[in-house]
Structure 1
Amino acid sequence: MNKDKNIKLNIGCGPCGIDGWLNYDFGILPLLSTFPVLKSILIKTHLLSSFYQIKWPEIKLVDIRKKFPLSNSSVKVIFCSQVLEHFEYWEAKHILSECYRVMKTGGILRISVPDIEKIISNYSTNKDKVGSAREFDKTVFGDEKDLKPNIVKKLSIFFIRYHKWHYNYPYMCQLLKETGFSKIIKCGYRKGETPDLIKLELGIHRSTSMYVEASKK
């Protein structure tokens, strides 16, 4: 168990974790970060996007579908960006229950996920109806499912977890309340009480995402 009582936890951090935070991720991708030559080969063969060429932070391999290896009420801030949509609803509920368990009273949880309402708005206001339909599907599924997968694509499923479930703001509020959180606030991109947002929050998903902060009483 981590004995630090002011932990800042980034769950599902990918290659975007930063120093000063406890960075959790799990699976082949974070494991590959410790084997740079193999990772480079996978990128060159297009099994991995060149995005993953960047240097990964120090990561603890933790399966967040299980109990977090942290004491009760030990975490000050939790950052969860573009993570929950990759899990079934019941899995997301467990993950947030664990966030609540390890969070200190008054602590902050920040979540960003694809926003159903933004996705629909982007689709309905786009004059390119063919392109907008494809972009809609790509955003919802987290994958280009209109393209027949080649061998490289088939192998990539072992590296990338696609989208399982989506939310709008009321639905996210319901999930947060079910897991004990209160004072739920819809925030803007890089706006809120969470520290280090300029470093942590990436603009790549900004047009389709919602940003929410909640606290533990």
Structure 2
Amino acid sequence: MSTPAPGTGLKLHLGCWHRHFPGWVHVDLCDMPHIDHRSSIDQLPFIDDGAAQLVYCSHALEYFDRQQALGVLAEWRRVLAPGGTLRLAVPDFEALIQVYQRTGELARVLGPLYGRMAIPTPQGEQWLYHRTTYDERSLTALLAEAGFTAPRRWDWRETEHAHIDDHSQAYFPHMQKETGLLVSLNMEFTRPAD
């Protein structure tokens, strides 16, 4: 697959798993028919500098620890055009604390806090776990350190991928999208002009 020239409107879906957004470029380690590039999302050598208008990553940044995250974000910034948008969704630590306080049940927050994902390897499955968590203040500070600006929350209902249920639409109680507590921290940032 050829990469469009910089600034031509490419939309990247990083860590997409089984979710397919028509018209987007999909990158993931898993092997599924809609995956355009089977690769880790922290190295994107097949994407030209400044080629993407939008980079979207839902509940995958937390698989990298805080020190690794800066390198990951530098790579995402590289492929993003000046003025382009980085749209992130990560488990919301503050909301998960509220879930625990309401229920007193650790099991209700273990999945979003620690995650677990199987990656097939020649030696068998390798298990990946979340290495960190974020609240709005810590995510904003990290993205500022990585050179992104204009932090803002985004509403999944107002995106072109709203009809595809992913972790950006995670609620407690599960699937209670009208009355539940959103447990995904959904934020967008801008790559400023250099």
- Shorter chain as denominator, the TM-score bin is 0.7 to 0.9
* Aligned pair partner of 1:171 in 138, 143, 149: 138
Task: Identify the structure with the greater helix proportion.
Answer: 1
Report the residue type matching 2:170 in the other structure. H
CA distance in 1, matches of 2:160, 2:147: 22
Q: Which residue of 1 aligns with 2:20?
A: 17
Q: How does 1:2-41 map to 2 (within 5 A)?
A: 2-4=3-5, 5-26=8-29, 30-31=30-31, 33=32
Q: Which residue of 2 aligns with 1:107?
A: 84
CA distance in 2, matches of 1:167, 1:63: 21
Q: Contact 2:168–2:184 (CA<8 Å) still a contact in 1?
A: no
Q: How does 1:151-166 map to 2 (within 5 A)?
A: 158=125, 160-166=127-133
CA offset at residue 160 of structure 1?
4.4
* Aligned pair partner of 2:96 in 119, 130, 133: 119
Q: Which residue of 2 aligns with 1:141?
A: 114
Q: Contact 1:62–1:68 (CA<8 Å) still a contact in 2?
A: no
SS of residue paired to 1:139: helix
Q: Which residue of 1 aligns with 2:49?
A: 72
CA offset at residue 78 of structure 1?
0.7
Report the residue type matching 1:95 in the other structure. V
Q: Contact 2:58–2:168 (CA<8 Å) still a contact in 1?
A: no
Gaps of 5+ in 1: 34-55, 144-156
Using structure 1 for the length normalisation, give the TM-score.
Answer: 0.71
Deviations 1:17-71 (A, max 9, x none): 2220000001xxx23x3xxxxxxxxxxxxxxxxxxxxxx5243112223343211
Root mean square deviation, CA, Å? 2.2
CA offset at residue 195 of structure 1?
3.4
The structure-2 alpha-carbon separation of the partners of 1:200 and 1:97, relative to structure 1 and needing over 3 Å to count, comes to farther
Matched pairs, number? 172
Max Rg structure: 1
Q: How does 1:202-213 map to 2 (within 5 A)?
A: 202=167, 205-206=170-171, 207-213=182-188
CA offset at residue 99 of structure 1?
1.2
Report the residue type matching 1:209 in the other structure. S
SS of residue paired to 1:14: coil
The structure-2 alpha-carbon separation of the partners of 1:203 and 1:75, relative to structure 1 and needing over 3 Å to count, comes to closer
Q: Contact 2:89–2:168 (CA<8 Å) still a contact in 1?
A: no
Report the residue type matching 1:120 in the other structure. I
CA distance in 1, matches of 2:113, 2:95: 11
Q: Which residue of 1 aligns with 2:119?
A: none
CA distance in 2, matches of 1:216, 1:134: 37
Q: Which residue of 1 aligns with 2:189?
A: 214
CA offset at residue 204 of structure 1?
5.7
* Aligned pair partner of 2:63 in 86, 92, 100: 86
Report the residue type matching 2:128 in the other structure. R
Q: Contact 1:190–1:201 (CA<8 Å) still a contact in 2?
A: no
CA distance in 2, matches of 1:60, 1:215: 24
Report the residue type matching 1:2 in the other structure. T
Deviations 1:80-133 (A, max 9, x none): 00111112122222121111111112211110000110000111122xx3xx22
Q: Contact 2:59–2:168 (CA<8 Å) still a contact in 1?
A: no
User: Kindly, what percent of the aligned residue pairs are identical?
Assistant: 24
Q: Which residue of 1 aligns with 2:163?
A: 198
Gaps of 5+ in 2: 117-123, 172-181
Q: Contact 2:168–2:186 (CA<8 Å) still a contact in 1?
A: no
